[in-house]
Structure 1
C-alpha cells in the first residue's frame, strides 16, 4: 500500500468558554474570517467556530469549540502547547506588535528561531499563539486574507504555522511522527533552555512543521478554556484517507475509523503521550452549503442534522456574526 505524504497542517481545534468574545477577538483584532458557524458534531449543544483565510483553505483553519463551563487550563506536558499563525513578512510582525499594544493584547518580544522571526501572544483566555514570519519561507503555499478584514492584506494572517507539542516521551512521539505519519526530522533549536526538535512533511516550510520538546519534568496538562483540543493534518482525498484508516488498523493503533464531518472526512487517534491527532481531507470544503460571499453569517448544519435544526438552535445562545 503506497501512501502519499501528508500535506501539512489542516486545522487546529481549541476550546473557548465564550463564543462572543472569541468571535470578536479572532475577527476584529486578528482579522481572520469566520468561514463557518456550526455545532460540535459530537455535542450539538455547543458551537464550533472556524476562522481562516478568505474561504477556509485547508491549512488556514483555527477552530473553537465553545464549552461555557470550561475551567482554567493548567499548562504542562502531553499537550499541544502552541499554535502558530503565518504572516507574510518580518515587517508584518512590527505591524502586529503595534496592533497588540493598541488593543491591549498580551504579547512577548519578537524573537528569531532558526532564521525565522516569531511573535508570541495570548488571547483573552490565555490561548498560546505565535505569529511566524513567512519572509524566507519556501514550503507549503499560504492562503489569502479576506479583503474585508480590518487588518491590511499585506499583514494579514495567511494560515497555520508550526504546531508546538510538549511531551513526556519523545521517543514514542517520534515513532508516530516518523514511522507512521512519514515526517522527517529537519533541525532543532534551543527554546527556554530546552531542545526543540523540528519535524516536517510534504513540501515542508511553516505550514508543514511540528515542533516537539520533551519535558518529563512537567506535570500533565489539565486542559480547559484556552487549551488546544487536537491538531489535524492534511490528506489529499477520501481515497487516501481510507488507506490511512487501513494502515492504523494494521498497526493496531486505537482509532475512530472513518468519520464523516461533511466539510471534510476524518480519522482520529491518540499518539502514546495522549495527544489527539486527526487526519482530514482537503475537501469538500466550506462552500458546499454556503456561498463564498456569506460564509459564516448563519448557523450551518450538515444535512444529517438539518431535521433537528429547531431543537439545536433552541439550545444555543444566539451569536450574531453578520456584520
Structure 2
C-alpha cells in the first residue's frame, strides 16, 4: 500500500456565492462539482479544481450559513498550498493580489521554493507554491479564465501544513500508517519555534507533501468560516482503504469504515492531535455523472439523494455563476 499524494482539502464557508466569487472569479479555479454535504444535504458542498477535477487539484467547501469566525490555534490544518507552474507565476499572482486588494504577505523562499501566502475573504490561510524546480506528482491543467493566462493558473494542491501540540503523535501516523517519509525541514515562522518538518510520499514533490509544525504554546483552534475541516490523501483502491483501516485500528484509533462518496470511496480517522484525515480513491471521479463541458453547472446529487432533489433544491440559494 502506498499513499499517492494529496487528494483534496475540505474547508468551511459561510456564504456559497461569495466563496464562488473568490475561488472561481478571482483565483480562476473551476467549479467542477456543485453538490451537497452527503451527511447533511441541506448545505452546499462545492468542489474547485483544475479543468476536469483531477485527484490532487480539488479544494472543497461546505457552506454552513451563519458560522462564526475561526479562532486560530493548535490541532489544526493551518495552511493549504496551491501549486503554480513556476516562479514567474508567483510574481504574476502578487501583482494580481495587489490589484484586487487581496491580503497577502511578501514572497518568501521556503524549502527551496518561492511561496506567496494570502488569505481569502473569510481569512482562509492559503499559499501559492512555485513548482519551478519541483519533481514528483504530476500537476493538473488549469481551467481557462479570461483574466489569468493559462501558464499562470493554479495546477493543484500542496503542500498542506498541520499545526499540532505534540508532533510525535502525527509523526507516527504519517510514517507508520500513511507511508510518508521525512525529507527535511525549514526554519519556523515564529520566534523560538520548532523547525517545520517536511514529509512526502509516493512520487514526492509538492503534490505529495505534508508539513508538520509543533506549537505546544497555542490553545486549540475553534473552527469557523475559513477553517479547514479535513485533508484527504490518495489511494488506488478500496482494498488499500481496508489496509489503512486495519493499521489505524491496531493503534486503537476509531475509523469511519469505508464510505461510498459516489465520486470516490473514503475512509476517515483522527490522530491523537485531532487532525481529521480522509483516504480517498482516485476513481471513479467527477466525470461519472456530468460531461466535461458542463461540469459544475447544475446541482449534482449522488444516486441515494436523487429522489429528494426537489426538497434539497428548495433549501439551497442558487449560485450566480460566470458564463
Q: Establish whether TM, by shorter chain, passes 0.5.
A: yes
| 1:179 equivalent among 176, 181, 189 | 176
Whole-Å Cα distance in 2 between the matches of residues 251 and 215 of structure 1?
A: 24
2:235 aligned partner:
235
2:201 aligned partner:
201
Whole-Å Cα distance in 1 between the matches of residues 117 and 26 of structure 2?
A: 15
Is the CA contact (8 Å cut-off) linking 1:296 and 1:321 kept in structure 2? Answer: no
Displacement, 1:322? 5.8
Q: Which secondary structure state, in structure 2, belongs to the residue aligned with residue 197 of structure 1? A: strand
Q: Which secondary structure state, in structure 2, belongs to the residue aligned with residue 106 of structure 1? A: coil
Whole-Å Cα distance in 2 between the matches of residues 252 and 217 of structure 1?
A: 27
Whole-Å Cα distance in 2 between the matches of residues 182 and 93 of structure 1?
A: 30
Q: Which secondary structure state, in structure 1, belongs to the residue aligned with residue 136 of structure 2? A: coil
Displacement, 1:246? 3.1
Unmatched segments (≥5 aa) in structure 2: none
Q: Which secondary structure state, in structure 1, belongs to the residue aligned with residue 321 of structure 2? A: coil
TM-score, structure 1 normalization:
0.97
| 1:131 equivalent among 128, 152, 175 | 128
Whole-Å Cα distance in 2 between the matches of residues 149 and 15 of structure 1?
A: 27
Whole-Å Cα distance in 1 between the matches of residues 240 and 176 of structure 2?
A: 18
Whole-Å Cα distance in 1 between the matches of residues 240 and 177 of structure 2?
A: 14
Q: Which is worse superposed, 61-70 or 145-154?
A: 145-154
Q: Which secondary structure state, in structure 2, belongs to the residue aligned with residue 300 of structure 1? A: coil
1:252 aligned partner:
252
1:212 aligned partner:
212
Q: Which secondary structure state, in structure 1, belongs to the residue aligned with residue 104 of structure 2? A: strand
Displacement, 1:317? 1.2
4+ aligned runs moved over 6 Å, structure 1? none
Is the CA contact (8 Å cut-off) linking 1:28 and 1:150 kept in structure 2? Answer: no
Displacement, 1:148? 4.3
Aligned residues: CA RMSD: 1.1
Unmatched segments (≥5 aa) in structure 1: none
Deviation string for 1:25-54 (max 9, x for gaps)? 001110000000000011100000000000
Deviation string for 1:253-288 (max 9, x for gaps)? 201000010000000000100010000000100010
Whole-Å Cα distance in 1 between the matches of residues 253 and 88 of structure 2?
A: 44
| 2:19 equivalent among 15, 18, 22 | 22
Is the CA contact (8 Å cut-off) linking 1:127 and 1:226 kept in structure 2? Answer: yes
Whole-Å Cα distance in 1 between the matches of residues 71 and 109 of structure 2?
A: 27
Q: Which secondary structure state, in structure 1, belongs to the residue aligned with residue 239 of structure 2? A: helix
Q: Which secondary structure state, in structure 1, belongs to the residue aligned with residue 158 of structure 2? A: strand
Whole-Å Cα distance in 1 between the matches of residues 290 and 77 of structure 2?
A: 31
2:53 aligned partner:
56
2:39 aligned partner:
42
1:99 aligned partner:
96
Whole-Å Cα distance in 2 between the matches of residues 149 and 56 of structure 1?
A: 19
2:110 aligned partner:
113
CA spacing shift, 1:74–1:282, aligned 2, 3 Å: same
Kindly tell me the number of residue pairs found equivalent between the two proteins: 320
Q: Which secondary structure state, in structure 2, belongs to the residue aligned with residue 248 of structure 1? A: helix
Is the CA contact (8 Å cut-off) linking 2:7 and 2:234 kept in structure 1? Answer: yes
TM-score, structure 2 normalization:
0.97
CA spacing shift, 1:35–1:177, aligned 2, 3 Å: same
2:152 aligned partner:
155
Deviation string for 1:118-152 (max 9, x for gaps)? 00000000000000000000111000001346411
Is the CA contact (8 Å cut-off) linking 1:33 and 1:149 kept in structure 2? Answer: no
Is the CA contact (8 Å cut-off) linking 1:32 and 1:149 kept in structure 2? Answer: no
